[in-house]
Structure 1
Amino acid sequence: MLRIHFSDADLARTRIAAAPDPVWEIAASMHRLQSRKGRWAYAEWYRTARQQLREKKLERVLRSVLLPLYPRAAYFPDFLTPADAVGDLAMGIESIVATPPRRVLEEVAILDRTVGAPAWAGQLTRLDARKEFAGMLRAYYDAVIAPYEEQTQARIEAERAALCRGLLNGGVEGMLSGLGPMLRWRPPVLKVSYPKQAADRDLYLGGRGLTLVPSHFNWGEPVAFADPQLPPVLVYSLLHERGPSDATHGADIVDKPLITLLGRTRAAALRAASTGATTTEIARAAGVSASSASRHATALRDARLITTVRHGPTVLHTLTPAGASLLRASTGKSR
Structure 2
Amino acid sequence: MELRIHFTADDLTRITVAPRPDPMWELVNSLHALQAPRTTPEHAPWLAHVRRRLARSDLREPIRLLTTLVPARGKFPDFLTPPHRGGMEVARDLILATPTDRVRAELAACCSQRTPSDGLRRLAEGDRAARQELDAALAVYFRELLLPQRQLIDDMVHSDRAYRSRDLLEGGAERLLSTLSPAIRWEPPTLVADYPRDGDLHLRGRGISLIPSFFCTGRPITLIDPGLPPVLVYPANRRSGGTETHDGLPELLGRTRAMALCALASPCSTGELALRIGVSIASASKHASVLRNARLITSTRRGCEVVHALTPLGREVAQGRRRGSPYGGG
Shorter-chain TM-score category? 0.7 to 0.9
Hey, what does 2:226 align to over in structure 1?
228
Hey, what does 2:76 align to over in structure 1?
76
**Residue 213 of structure 1, CA deviation:** 0.8
Is the 2:208–2:230 contact (alpha carbons within 8 Å) kept by the matching residues of 1? yes
Hey, what does 2:53 align to over in structure 1?
52
**Residue 122 of structure 1, CA deviation:** 2.0
**Residue 228 of structure 1, CA deviation:** 0.7
* CA distance in structure 1 between the partners assigned to 2:201 and 2:185 by the alignment: 15
* CA distance in structure 2 between the partners assigned to 1:48 and 1:86 by the alignment: 28
**Residue 67 of structure 1, CA deviation:** 0.9
**Residue 192 of structure 1, CA deviation:** 1.2
Distance 1:40 1:309, change over 3 A: farther
**Residue 52 of structure 1, CA deviation:** 2.1
**Residue 127 of structure 1, CA deviation:** 3.2
Distance 1:185 1:279, change over 3 A: same
**Could you say what secondary structure the match of 1:223 adopts?**
coil
Superposed CA offset, 1:73-132 (max 9, x none): 13111111112x255211211111111111111111112113443233021122332123
Superposed CA offset, 1:176-223 (max 9, x none): 2221212212211111122xxx22111111111111111111122111
Superposed CA offset, 1:138-179 (max 9, x none): 111000111111221111111111111111111121212221
Q: Does 1:267 align with 2:255?
A: yes
Supply the AA of the counterpart residue of 2:222: A
* CA distance in structure 1 between the partners assigned to 2:130 and 2:35 by the alignment: 25
Supply the AA of the counterpart residue of 2:163: A
Supply the AA of the counterpart residue of 1:221: R
Hey, what does 2:323 align to over in structure 1?
none
Is the 1:22–1:87 contact (alpha carbons within 8 Å) kept by the matching residues of 2? no
Hey, what does 1:239 align to over in structure 2?
237
* CA distance in structure 2 between the partners assigned to 1:116 and 1:172 by the alignment: 43
Q: TM-score, normalised by structure 2?
A: 0.76
Matches within 5 A, 1:44-123: 44-63=45-64, 65-83=65-83, 85-123=84-122
Matches within 5 A, 1:17-36: 17-36=18-37
Distance 1:145 1:15, change over 3 A: same
Distance 1:170 1:110, change over 3 A: same
* CA distance in structure 2 between the partners assigned to 1:11 and 1:297 by the alignment: 49
* CA distance in structure 1 between the partners assigned to 2:173 and 2:248 by the alignment: 29
Hey, what does 1:160 align to over in structure 2?
161
**Could you say what secondary structure the match of 1:136 adopts?**
helix
**Residue 20 of structure 1, CA deviation:** 0.5
Supply the AA of the counterpart residue of 2:73: A
* CA distance in structure 2 between the partners assigned to 1:13 and 1:21 by the alignment: 19
Matches within 5 A, 1:177-188: 177-188=178-189
Is the 1:210–1:234 contact (alpha carbons within 8 Å) kept by the matching residues of 2? yes
Superposed CA offset, 1:10-34 (max 9, x none): 1111110011001111111111110
Unaligned runs of 5+ in 2: 261-273, 310-314, 319-330
Hey, what does 2:326 align to over in structure 1?
none
* CA distance in structure 1 between the partners assigned to 2:305 and 2:40 by the alignment: 19
Is the 1:224–1:235 contact (alpha carbons within 8 Å) kept by the matching residues of 2? yes
* CA distance in structure 1 between the partners assigned to 2:5 and 2:293 by the alignment: 44
Q: Which moved more, 1:44-53 or 1:228-237?
A: 44-53
Cα RMSD for the two superposed structures: 3.3
Superposed CA offset, 1:218-257 (max 9, x none): 122111001111111111112369xxxxxxxxxxxxxxx9
Q: TM-score, normalised by structure 1?
A: 0.75
Distance 1:162 1:309, change over 3 A: farther
Matches within 5 A, 1:206-221: 206-221=204-219
Distance 1:273 1:121, change over 3 A: closer
**Could you say what secondary structure the match of 2:224 adopts?**
coil
Is the 2:62–2:141 contact (alpha carbons within 8 Å) kept by the matching residues of 1? no
Superposed CA offset, 1:278-308 (max 9, x none): 563359xxxxxx4x78547988x77xxxx97
Supply the AA of the counterpart residue of 1:280: A
